[in-house]
Amino acid sequence: YHQTVDGYSAAKLKRYDDILPLINGNREGDGEFLRYLKGVYQENPMELSTPVLDMLSTKYVIVADSLPNASLLQNIRPVFNNGKVSIYRNLKALPRAWFVQDTLVVADPAKRIRILRSADFDPAFSAILEEEITGISAPDSASVTQIKAGLHELAYEYHSDTDALLILSEIYYPAGWKAFVDGIEIPIYPANHILRALKVPAGEHKLELVMKPDSYAIGTKLSLAGILITILAVFIGAYFHFKKRSAKAISMNSDIN
């Protein structure tokens, strides 16, 4: 199993489907990687950014053929070629968590997509939010390290000299994920249309995210209640069964006497 931006299932969240054309391209425009290459190889070379690939922590890009004039490439480096495929390292890929310096509030989904498509957007510096998050500022000193990465649990240790906005390169899914700083729950916000943003307090702390959907908790309680009712019904049934047998035995003894 290897993580890939295209995923392994055709069933994807709509938010993620919204940004896939930015990576792979469609009738509205080229995908980011092809756009980057065109920018490098045109007559007046210019470096075009790949914000979506970068914010999804895309470290490697696989292409069917080797790229010409690889020495011109600044953001990617060749790391493998077997004559059939080539693999390039994306030097601008962001880590799985980072602090941002600035935010932009954009409620309109179509406008968010247009900004993400723009080569001027830098996800390492800015985050696109859907609502204003107050009480945060750009940290002068901040760092974050992921210490656990599981399917249903993530953990980080971080330091920040101010209340700040932390971006996680994880898909925003409000129906199940919950976040806790030192055991205290904090809200998770959408950022850059598909990622998670958290307002974290200043200082040194441990951040944990766990998959705890309310539907699962409700289902567990209902299942437990059903089991208890079944056990209770069995005991009540057994009680009346033995009580009836005892009463019948006493009646038979009385008749004999």
pLDDT tens string 203-214: 999 999 999 876
Residues 112 and 203 in one domain: yes
In-domain check, residue 255: no
The confidence score (pLDDT) of residue 225 equals 67
In the predicted model, what is the mean pLDDT of residues 173-193?
A: 96
How much is the pLDDT for 125?
Answer: 97
Is residue 224 located within the same domain as residue 179?
A: no
Q: Which of 54, 73, 90 is the last residue of a domain?
A: 90
Q: Are residues 139 and 201 in the same domain?
A: yes
Share of the chain above pLDDT 70, in %: 86
Domain boundary among 29, 58, 90: 90
Per-residue pLDDT tens digits for 95-105: 999 999 999 99
Asked whether the predicted pLDDT for residue 79 surpasses 80, the reply is: yes
The pLDDT of residue 221 is 64
226, part of any domain: yes
pLDDT at 226 over 90: no
Residues 104 and 200 in one domain: yes
8 within a domain of the structure (yes/no):
no
Q: Of 60, 90, 120, at which residue does a domain stop?
A: 90
In a domain, 145, yes or no: yes
* 114/175 same-domain check: yes
Q: By percentage, how much of the chain surpasses pLDDT 90?
A: 52
**Measured at the alpha carbon of residue 91, what is the angle toward residues 85 and 93, in degrees to the nearest 5?**
95
Clarify whether residues 150 and 62 are in a common domain. Answer: no
Average pLDDT over residues 154-162: 98
Structural domain that includes position 125: 97-211
Phi, psi of 165 (to 5 degrees): -100, 120
- Cα angle 15-20-23, degrees, rounded to a multiple of 5: 140
Give the pLDDT score at 245.
66
Q: Are residues 155 and 234 in the same domain?
A: no
Domain count of the fold of the chain: 3
Please tell me whether residues 119 and 31 are part of one structural domain.
no
Q: Is 164 a residue whose pLDDT tops 60?
A: yes
Tell me the C-alpha to C-alpha distance, in Å, between residue 65 and each of 58, 68, 80, 87. 19, 9, 11, 9
pTM of this prediction exceeds 0.75: yes
Q: Are residues 167 and 84 in the same domain?
A: no
